[in-house]
Amino acid sequence: MERAKKPSMVSTGLDRANRPSILSPSITGPQPTVSIEGGKVTAMLPTGDSVEVLLYGATVISWKNNGKENIFVSEAAKLDGSKPVRGGIPVVFPAFGPPPKDHATGALPQHGFARNSTWEYLGKSSSESGALSKGGDDSVKLDFGLSSSNISVDHKKAWPYDFGLVYSVTLGKDGLQTMLNVRNEGKEAFEFQMLLHSYWTVDDITKVAINGLGSTTYTDKVLDGGEHTESQTGLKITGEVDRVYKSIKQDTTSISSIDGKPRLDVTRDNISDTVIWNPWIAKTKAMADLRPEDSYKHFVCVEVGSVDGWQKLEPGETFEGGQILKSHL
Ligand code: TA6
């Protein structure tokens, strides 16, 4: 089992120094709107930007700017809580992938329990800008909570640690920020991994480049599970890709077209690993909840997380990490 790492930014409080936020200074102006219906929270800005979050898994299933959808969700995705959503931004915690059998998370399902637990909506905080006439920089933050007291008996038995999660989804103009705050509420230390398993819409996967991974070491789960170094400045997807890029030095990984038209900037906040995944033809066919069968052409997963080794939290300690997204749709 790999040695546990101290989280890069561990604090004993909820706030973190220099925590970035797209919340703007509040001046009176048209209010963002938030509605809750059928286990889904929807927020909309006066500019029309919108986000939809299921209480199930705190899964973002839609983020639109300029009327265009950033998030891929399979036509066969289950949205009724019967299984993790195939698409959206599933929250992966406390383990990424199949947990090692010899680890404390060993009895948990693949990708842990956060994505298939029902979270609590904790509320919103919003800020309005008087600058709406200039396109506005309104923003609204939605908070969701999950703790050891509201996961299933089976999950609690499989991982009996006292924890508290707060997942914040902040919608801004052409921007989204999703941050996971992990707190050890118990009397014994625990180890965890976290990842935001984001499915991003693309027009045509064969015309996509993923930038900002250059000269980074990655584990290739399709090839041989071995270590490789990325040599391409812009990674092209020409078949099944399942790679874990570790300790990426620069903060931002961007999706663009091969001829350089920007699509989405994904900036890591306090985490340094990123998974690139596309199941391609055969794996798509084999996944009953990934339909239509040409779905692989229309999404790529760029998944920020802390998955290389384990983060360790002592009692009372807090970890926070996530992503700041800029859409060019
Ligand atoms: O993030 C990539 C990955 O770990 C792949 O190996 C593949 O398993 C994918 O996640 C989907 O996992 P899921 O449990 O949602 O089917």
Q: 215 or 143: whose pLDDT is higher?
A: 143
Q: What are the residues whose beta carbons fall under 8 Å from the beta carbon of 242, sequence distance 6 or more?
A: 220, 221, 222, 275, 276, 277
Distant-in-sequence, close-in-space partners of 196: CB < 8 Å, separation ≥ 6 = 89, 90, 91, 92, 178, 180, 303, 304, 305, 322, 323
Q: For the segment 48-64, what is each residue's pLDDT rounded down to a tens digit? A: 999 999 999 999 999 99
28 or 141, which is more confident: 141
The CATH number of 34-327 is 2.70.98.10
Instruction: With cut-offs at 50, 70 and 90, classify the pLDDT of residue 132.
Output: very low
**Does residue 270 contact residue 323 with C-beta atoms inside 8 Å?**
no
In the predicted model, what is the mean pLDDT of the chain? 92
Give me the percent of the chain exceeding a pLDDT of 90.
84
- Kindly tell me the sign of the dihedral angle through the C-alpha atoms of 261, 266, 267, 273: negative
Bridge partners of residue 170, in order along the sequence: 141, 177
Residue 224 pLDDT greater than 90, yes or no: no
pTM, entire model: 0.91
Q: Are strands 318-327 and 262-269 parallel, antiparallel or unpaired?
A: antiparallel
> What are the extents of the domains in the chain?
34-327
Residue 277, ligand 1, Cβ within 6 A: yes
CA 28–ligand 1 middle distance (angstroms)? 44
The answer to whether 197 is a known catalytic residue is: yes
CB of 155 shorter than 6 A to ligand 1 = no
> To test ligand 1's pocket by mutation, which of 93, 237, 277 has the most ligand atoms within 8 angstroms of CB?
277
Q: How far is the CA of 271 from the centre of ligand 1 (A)?
A: 19
- Would you state the structure tokens that stand for residue 214, as one six-digit string? 């250059």
pLDDT at 135: 43
What does the pLDDT look like over 173-213, one tens digit per residue? 999 999 999 999 999 999 999 999 999 999 999 999 999 99
Ligand 1: distance of its center to the CA of 97 in Å? 7
Closest-CA residue, ligand 1 atom 10, reads 97
Tell me whether residue 120 is one of the annotated catalytic residues: no
